[in-house]
Chain A
Amino acid sequence: MGSLRTVVPWTLVALVGAAALGRLALLRGETISAAWLLVAAICTWLVAYRFYARFIAAKVFALDANRATPALRLADGHDYVPTNKWVVFGHHFAAIAGPGPLVGPTLAAQFGWLPGALWIVIGVVLGGAVQDFVILCASVRRDGRSLGQMAKDEIGPVAGLTALVAVVGIMVVLLSVLALVVVNALRDSPWGTVTIGLTIPIAMLMGLWLKFLRPDRVVEASVLGLVLLAGALWAGQWVSEHPTWAPVFTLTGPTLALLVMGYGFMASALPVWLLLAPRDYLSAFVKIGVVVALVVGIAWVLPPMQMPPLTRFTDGTGPAFSGKVFPFVFITIACGAISGFHSLIASGTTPKLLARETDAPLVGYGAMLTESLVAVMALVAACVLTPGVYFAINAPVAALGPTATTAAEAIRGWGFTLAPGEIEALAAAVGETSLLSRTGGAPSLAVGMAYLFDRALGGGAMALWYHFAIMFEALFILTTIDAGTRVGRFLLQDLGGQLWPRFRDRDWAPATWLASALFVAMWGHFLYQGVTDPLGGVNSLWPLFGMANQLLAAVALCVGTTVIVRMGRARYAWVTLVPLAWLLVVVFTAGWQKLFSPDPRVGFLSHARRMEELLAAGTLPPGVTSLEALPRMAFNDRLDAVVAAFFLCAVLVILADSLRTWLGVVRGARPLGSTEVPAQPVAAFVAGD
């Protein structure tokens, strides 16, 4: 009879979910409440967590509460520490949640809300959460080894080295596109610029506080930081209304790009306690707070979705980025559905904290479902805007023209309406001079969030909420930029150290500065190219980032499959092979199109040729002001093409190496030889510190 207690509620969850999905599917031309989407998504996640995650835990890995985890066996009081599962869940979620799941769905909303919603919900259940969970389990069984080490041990040294070099490339693209999002959000916005700028001295103050005044009082220092952050928001407003100071902090894209590069260099070269670590704490608190607020806000307001389920831009002519719904929705939304970067975290600190093997489904699978919830929220926040407003913010100057009148005309041409004065009134309400062509996703998400918070709390504080949302996104992103630049610097120092050993010395100032400057120059080049690109930069860089992230996921799934096969469980290898196959289809289709599509809006190479033809003919494309820009644009197109080709080749190498291993094992030519640490019972170790 005990089983009845499980069967009845789970049948109900499944039925409610199916009913909500049915309601979404039968929609005909009317707006629908976001509640239906949320219910359908949450029911799907619950069922997947209860049944699919448990299936993987029991059948594939045979997780055993009585098998000692690395946290128990290797307890050292700092890295390996057995920790309560909800605390590990919080830690893992805080580590995986970044700006990716906020920006991707916002951009993908140009196809309408349906493609993005389906991919987020189905993709996470069968792909993203599976990847995170499988890599976590594999790492827990191997003393918490990293993805790179596992690629080397499980597949081979070639795959290991390729994965390492691919990670450097992915970081360069990631940092440049995220920096571009920040720059586009702060361009011509004194309020945003001042608020974000002030977060740097605030973090330094926290760092000094923690180092000299109250060592180790991390939470106390963070509370202090949060209070100062509220002050920064207020100071930004004061400056933006000040006749003398407002123009001083009204900065252009290129200036902001240089400032962000300077910040990355500083954060990488300065000691971590001063800037990086305190900023990280601050950002984690803000992140968790805002995610909770967004969930509560949407659940409270249950806004109608103004965006249609599908727009005409599924045909590939979309203004936010070009390319058809297949494969580009699967590239644009990486984080939230499946994110390769998570595999680095699931094989980083998290496996060293897990107290019991059976905590892994909650941490690995569950935290990723939560990230998926964030992605759905971002999608909803973008779709509560009317399509007219959404495209006015997200389409580049080249598509909209310079003024509100030309924008309204272009938007009418796409079959949507933007009422006269609507976008100016909205800009005034959020305290900005203009919202036109604020590409990158952050401003439109901030407008959506401001609308939701304003509806939930009343009080007409749209401007404050908008800048709060911008601050939150920028804080997030700058924390990725500073930590990422530092990691990149170390990777370069390690690579350079092969030629000149002294370069590897992390305390030798010339090496530190040189490697930091070099890495900043690498992502800075792409950033600057994006900032000065009349097509908005996001158009070329975001797909590149999405491909890179999905390819890293493909690498992780190759490692996961190899682990499963070498455990002697090849019959369950479909668990990772199905998402792997889908990713390969998507990424190679997208990669091929980005390289070779004859449509210059999509293909890098054909766009480069088009620019050269225009140069030869002496004509300027829309949005470009001088002929000198054309050769530079053509060069950057070819560079983007080389980067895309490099990512594709790297994955082919790893895939070929993996296939060799799988076939060897299946044919019996290769011994199973699992690299798992042999099982030891929990009872052999003292629990606790």
Chain B
Amino acid sequence: MNRLRALARILRTILGAPDYDRYLRHMAARHPGCRVLSRDEFVASRLDARYARPGSRCC
């Protein structure tokens, strides 16, 4: 099960999909006590940023 989860994480990074758990770990480690975005806010902000760049898709 752990292997599957690790594989899913790799695939998710390859896809460039938002990773909320990773963001939470980063905030806990580096910015403890700061306000964290909710899952919805985080995902929305990541996706909006991703699809606003000309490099988001190639020919």
Segment at the B interface, from A297-305, A344-352, A401-409, A600-608: A344-352
Segment at the B interface, from A13-21, A269-277, A316-324, A632-640: A269-277
Interface string of A255-294 (1 = CB under 8 A from B): 0000000000000000011001100110010000000000
Segment at the B interface, from A437-445, A483-491, A560-568, A659-667: A483-491
Q: Report B-chain residues with C-beta under 8 Å of the C-beta of A380.
A: none
Segment at the B interface, from A95-103, A225-233, A385-393: A95-103
A393 to chain B, nearest CB (A): 22
| Closest partner residue, chain A, to B53 (CB atom) | A348
* A422: Cβ under 8 A from any B Cβ: no
A33 to chain B, nearest CB (A): 31
Interface string of A87-108 (1 = CB under 8 A from B): 1001100111111100000000
Which of A87, A146, A218, A273 meets B44, CB within 8 Å? Answer: A273
Question: In the bound complex, what is the Cα–Cα distance between A486 and B43 (angstroms)?
Answer: 18
Query: Knowing A87-B10, A91-B13, A272-B51 touch, does A689 contact B29 (C-beta < 8 A)?
Result: yes
How many A residues touch B, CB cutoff 8 Å? 60
Residues facing B in A545-602 (CB within 8 A) are: 545, 549
Residues facing A in B29-59 (CB within 8 A) are: 29-30, 39-40, 42-44, 46-59
Q: Report B-chain residues with C-beta under 8 Å of the C-beta of A434.
A: none
* A341: Cβ under 8 A from any B Cβ: yes
In the bound complex, do residue A215 and residue B15 qualify as a contact, i.e. CB atoms below 8 Å apart? no
In the bound complex, do residue B54 and residue A167 qualify as a contact, i.e. CB atoms below 8 Å apart? yes
B43 to chain A, nearest CB (A): 7
Segment at the B interface, from A76-84, A447-455, A456-464: A76-84
Highest count of chain A CB atoms <10 Å: which of B17, B21, B23: B17
Which of A219, A272, A339, A349 meets B11, CB within 8 Å? Answer: A219
In the bound complex, do residue A97 and residue B58 qualify as a contact, i.e. CB atoms below 8 Å apart? yes
* A75: Cβ under 8 A from any B Cβ: yes
Which of B40, B46, B49, B54 meets A171, CB within 8 Å? Answer: B54
In the bound complex, do residue B58 and residue A490 qualify as a contact, i.e. CB atoms below 8 Å apart? no
In the bound complex, do residue B56 and residue A487 qualify as a contact, i.e. CB atoms below 8 Å apart? yes
In the bound complex, do residue B57 and residue A178 qualify as a contact, i.e. CB atoms below 8 Å apart? no
| Closest partner residue, chain B, to A76 (CB atom) | B26
In the bound complex, do residue B26 and residue A339 qualify as a contact, i.e. CB atoms below 8 Å apart? no
* A335: Cβ under 8 A from any B Cβ: yes
In the bound complex, do residue B58 and residue A87 qualify as a contact, i.e. CB atoms below 8 Å apart? no
Query: Knowing A272-B48, A487-B52, A689-B22 touch, does A218 contact B12 (C-beta < 8 A)?
Result: yes
Question: In the bound complex, what is the Cα–Cα distance between A588 and B46 (angstroms)?
Answer: 40
In the bound complex, do residue B47 and residue A273 qualify as a contact, i.e. CB atoms below 8 Å apart? yes
Question: In the bound complex, what is the Cα–Cα distance between A688 and B26 (angstroms)?
Answer: 9
In the bound complex, do residue A277 and residue B59 qualify as a contact, i.e. CB atoms below 8 Å apart? no
In the bound complex, do residue B10 and residue A98 qualify as a contact, i.e. CB atoms below 8 Å apart? no
Residues of chain A having any CB pair with chain B under 8 Å:
75-79, 81, 83-84, 87, 90-91, 94-100, 146, 167, 171, 174, 178, 215-216, 218-220, 222, 272-273, 276-277, 280-281, 284, 334-335, 339, 341-342, 344-345, 347-349, 353, 479-480, 483-484, 486-487, 490-491, 506, 545, 549, 688-689
Report 8 cross-chain contacts, Cβ distance below 8 Å, ordered by A residue: A77-B22, A87-B13, A91-B15, A99-B59, A218-B17, A272-B51, A486-B52, A688-B29
Those 7 A-B pairs whose CB atoms lie nearest each other, nearest first: A77-B26, A344-B55, A348-B55, A483-B57, A100-B59, A90-B14, A219-B8
